[in-house]
Chain A
Amino acid sequence: MHSRTVAELSAGLAAGDFSSVELTRHCLERIEANTRLNAFITVTADTALETAAHADKLLGQGKAGPLTGIPIAHKDIFCTRDVLTSCGSRILSNFVSPYNATVVQRLSDAGMVLVGKTNMDEFAMGSSNETSWYGNCHNPWDESRVPGGSSGGSASAVAARLVPVATGTDTGGSIRQPAALTGITGLKPTYGRVSRYGMVAFASSLDQGGILAVSSEDVAIVLAAMAGFDPRDSTSVDEPVPDYHAALNTELAGLRIGVPQQFFEEGLEPAVEAAVREALEVYRGMGAQLVEVELPNLALSVPTYYVVAPAEASSNLSRFDGVRFGYRSESAKDLHELYRKSRGEGFGAEVKRRIMTGTYALSAGYYDAYYLKAQKVRRLINDDFRNVFAEVDVVMGPTTPTPAFGIGDKTDDPITMYLNDIYTIAANLAGLPAISIPCGFADELPVGLQIIAGHFAEARLLAIAHSYQRETDWHRRAPAGF
């Protein structure tokens, strides 16, 4: 049962091959049997089975939708009513949310069964899940390696087939990079496509909720329920949500694929490049045209990101002060100490590093040189993409320069760690939708192909990904033993 996709499970439930309770119990058993992966921070077994029983009732009454009764896991960054929402941090290690994030509510309304909350880098700051207060998460392809991050728990859980689908968030690659490193499909939608309400903010102008699943077809089904304007999020966009599933099989005749030289330069591992080049050949074989394009400012995306994201984070994380909720130091004697100790003890090293970097970038006398300058570069990167999309439909390249690295390999060197996001960050800076799909292996570790499209072109993007997944079966490969 666990090797099936959401689409297949949905058909199975509709046909009565198994019940949602059976399916949910199966997922819960697999989660229980694989706790060594540390993919989950919280498992909501009891409420999951209740929800599943209710879903079975709806299925019996013929009132079910395509997602009714399908288990899902939410990244622990999404506020979930009456459930611990830790954001991977000690400072929220006692925070039970009084409300549901819009994403959580919409998927619940669609009948999905929440089985638990997944592990993540603290406040989504990290590319390996190693900054989590709840410990490392493991890559099911090689448990000595990281699953990527920050949505590491969601990626690990889907790759190990513990759940058919999970939510994630992507600020600089936090859905696509772990999807690539664990051999699954991960979509970061257009900025504004999915509501950010109830998603604990890291960098507000870059954060976007999305989906990790086995196939792009599954992503299409879940995205339809998740996307859309939310009056509670002023940055969500009032654009109609197309029928992504129906659009999957549109013809790709005359597809023009942009291949930026800048995605294939120094630092890219040859085996990764080989897998990606081969995937491009598959597209050429399907009739697509490969066009060399230029993203001249791509190299500036990492430094730009590491000004903008920490600056916004330094302000977003000010609310964690030990006053109204979350961790509060017991030993504080006055207000100043309450702040210093609660935050000093509650935040981990990487979060502190970014708060300090961001505070510096916004300080009087440095604002123009850093934050304002970074915003200007951001516009240049945006312009690069606009020029490219005047010529081609999508841009393709590797999602990451290397496959999954070993736990502990990069923890002492933040810059090398940051460079793991070199190909993914630009899409966040420009607000573009981007997907990572499995396209082969390098040294028996999965490799991801990244596809970036124009704003709100998710339907087209998913159709292009789906056409590849009809031709290949990389996405159906599960790690040994799972």
Chain B
Amino acid sequence: MEWEVVIGLEVHAQLGTQSKIFSAASTEFGAPPNTQACAVDLGYPGVLPVFNGEAARMAIKFGLAVNATIAHRSVFARKNYFYPDLPKGYQISQYELPIVQGGKMDITLEDGTGKTIGITRAHLEEDAGKSLHEDFHGMTGVDLNRAGTPLLEIVSEPDMRSAAEAVAYLKKIRTLVQYLEICDGNMQEGSLRCDANVSVRPAGQQELGTRSELKNLNSFRFIEKAILHEVERQIDVIESGGTVVQETRLYDSDRDETRSMRSKEEANDYRYFPDPDLLPLVLDQDMIDDVRATLPELPAARHQRFVGDFGLSGYDAEVLTSSREMADYFENVVAGVGGEAKLAANWVMGDLSGVLNRENLSISESRIDAEMLAGMLRRVADNTISGKIAKQVFEAMWSGEGDADTIIETRGLKQITDAGAIAGIIDEIIAANPRQLEQYRSGKERLFGFFVGQVMKATDGKANPQQVNELLKKKLS
């Protein structure tokens, strides 16, 4: 039987506010345990939450960017359950009335076709702390630094039909929140987390199959592997006569398997009710319009512009707009060179991305900034150096020898474009290789390469290759 896979994602994006969603404590990552938790975060008796309006502005940005409705009135609710890293015994979230309602996100599939994924809702909530089970000799440590960090939970429709689509959607979400500067998108540190609801059904069936919820998916690779694994497991269960049960499953990346955490019967009754400590969040149209005015150019619009104005291919535009930093870098290079978008694109996507990958750096950490790269590409464009020499210059810039002009100067890499000088060298080479000349003239044309090589060798690669070709052809004939 042919099976159809149905996937919906719940993405938790930590919002990059300075302070927590309901207290004045700092949200910075990596501080010693429990040093960034105040009485409010610790759930002390008598404390009260006060909403951080910056979190609302960030949620609105997201909502506007996915063409969603921004609720003029949304309500904070308490989700009640006991856990040591949940200090109050309830999480403040939004339940019936979320701030962002209905939206959509376009993704591009591997074959180049597009697809639209529906976004059901996005709501504001506070993060819990962390329970640390290692290093405490059978006991559990609780770090509440993260407790109260603002989260935007983005819930998609069950619109994805493969693990690859799920990954493409999540990448788009990550790019978007980074563009909007509302979340750093760091999956390793947990700034962006993802749960996947996965089910299968016979191809053509309307009714959805029973789903399982996969948790602990903290990289694109794990999401893909976990979903593939879970789909296979569900199909196996059904084909061997069993039924899939609704449950929450945890992905174990070490063993590359999912295992059951709790079934539907064991699920908590969260006893949601509106939080009486907080007033409904009321947003007037002026405030929403103010936020709209601060929206940056979004990835889709930028992609269009890169294709339309710069003449880049769809693929190049896709890669270059995949992060705001990369797109900004690229545009700064183009501006610095004064055009030559294709040349800039090749260098950013080629040598620069290569060295960044090799050294595991992000583009904002690059040792060659956009201005430096533009400086070098100007010399390529005006024929001061060839593309081949440029690679040397690039390596030298990377190892800190200064900007391109300095390196070209001190290393004497300036291209020889004086036709007289090149002709003189060619004459010497021809004179020194009479046998090869004779063979060439008697029809062995591939020896042309030999003469080019000799000229380049004699000039340390600095002779303008095009001129060398032209002059050689003339002299050898």
Interface residues, chain A, with chain B CB atoms under 8 Å away: 78-79, 85, 87, 92, 95, 97-99, 101, 196-201, 203-205, 231-235, 311-312, 314-315, 317-321, 323-325, 335, 339, 359, 362-364, 367, 371
Chain B residue total in the interface (Cβ 8 A): 29
Please judge, given known A-B contacts A321-B89, A363-B271, whether A339 and B82 are in contact too, CB under 8 Å. Answer: yes
Q: Is B242 an interface residue (CB 8 A)?
A: no
Q: Is B80 an interface residue (CB 8 A)?
A: yes
Q: How far is the CB of A247 from chain B (nearest CB, A)?
A: 29
Contact B271 A98 (CB under 8 A): no
Contact B45 A85 (CB under 8 A): yes
Q: How far is the CB of B59 from chain A (nearest CB, A)?
A: 18
Q: Is B228 an interface residue (CB 8 A)?
A: no
Q: Is B78 an interface residue (CB 8 A)?
A: yes
Please judge, given known A-B contacts A101-B46, A235-B279, A319-B45, whether A362 and B87 are in contact too, CB under 8 Å. Answer: no
- Dominant SS among interface residues on chain B: loop
Please judge, given known A-B contacts A319-B45, A324-B43, whether A234 and B273 are in contact too, CB under 8 Å. Answer: no
Of B48, B88, B273, B277, the contact of A371 (CB 8 Å cutoff): B273
Contact B80 A362 (CB under 8 A): yes
Q: Is B90 an interface residue (CB 8 A)?
A: yes
Tell me which residues across on chain B come within 8 A of A203, comparing CB atoms: 276
Scoring B residues 46 to 81 as 1 if CB is less than 8 Å from chain A, else 0, what string do you get? 111111000000000000000000000000001010
Contact A315 B46 (CB under 8 A): no
Q: Is B84 an interface residue (CB 8 A)?
A: yes
Contact B50 A231 (CB under 8 A): yes
Bound complex: CA of A204 vs CA of B276, how far in Å?
Answer: 6
Tell me which residues across on chain A come within 8 A of B89, comparing CB atoms: 315, 317-319, 321
Tell me which residues across on chain B come within 8 A of A87, comparing CB atoms: 45
- Dominant SS among interface residues on chain A: loop
Q: Is B278 an interface residue (CB 8 A)?
A: yes
Within 8 A of A (CB), among B406-450: none
Contact A234 B278 (CB under 8 A): yes
Contact B277 A311 (CB under 8 A): no
Bound complex: CA of A124 vs CA of B332, how far in Å?
Answer: 65
Contact A234 B277 (CB under 8 A): yes
Contact A234 B46 (CB under 8 A): no
Tell me which residues across on chain A come within 8 A of B49, comparing CB atoms: 234
Chain B residue at smallest Cβ distance from A95: B45
Tell me which residues across on chain A come within 8 A of B43, comparing CB atoms: 319, 324
Of A235, A323, A359, the contact of B271 (CB 8 Å cutoff): A359
Tell me which residues across on chain A come within 8 A of B39, comparing CB atoms: 98-99
Bound complex: CA of A383 vs CA of B351, how far in Å?
Answer: 73
Chain A residue at smallest Cβ distance from B85: A323
Within 8 A of A (CB), among B271-324: 271-273, 276-279
Q: How far is the CB of A86 from chain B (nearest CB, A)?
A: 10
Bound complex: CA of A413 vs CA of B174, how far in Å?
Answer: 59
Chain B residue at smallest Cβ distance from A231: B50
Scoring B residues 254 to 278 as 1 if CB is less than 8 Å from chain A, else 0, what string do you get? 0000000000000001011100111
Contact B276 A205 (CB under 8 A): yes
Of B84, B87, B276, B278, the contact of A312 (CB 8 Å cutoff): B276
Q: Is B44 an interface residue (CB 8 A)?
A: yes
Q: How far is the CB of A145 from chain B (nearest CB, A)?
A: 31
Tell me which residues across on chain A come within 8 A of B269, comparing CB atoms: 363-364
Contact A318 B48 (CB under 8 A): no
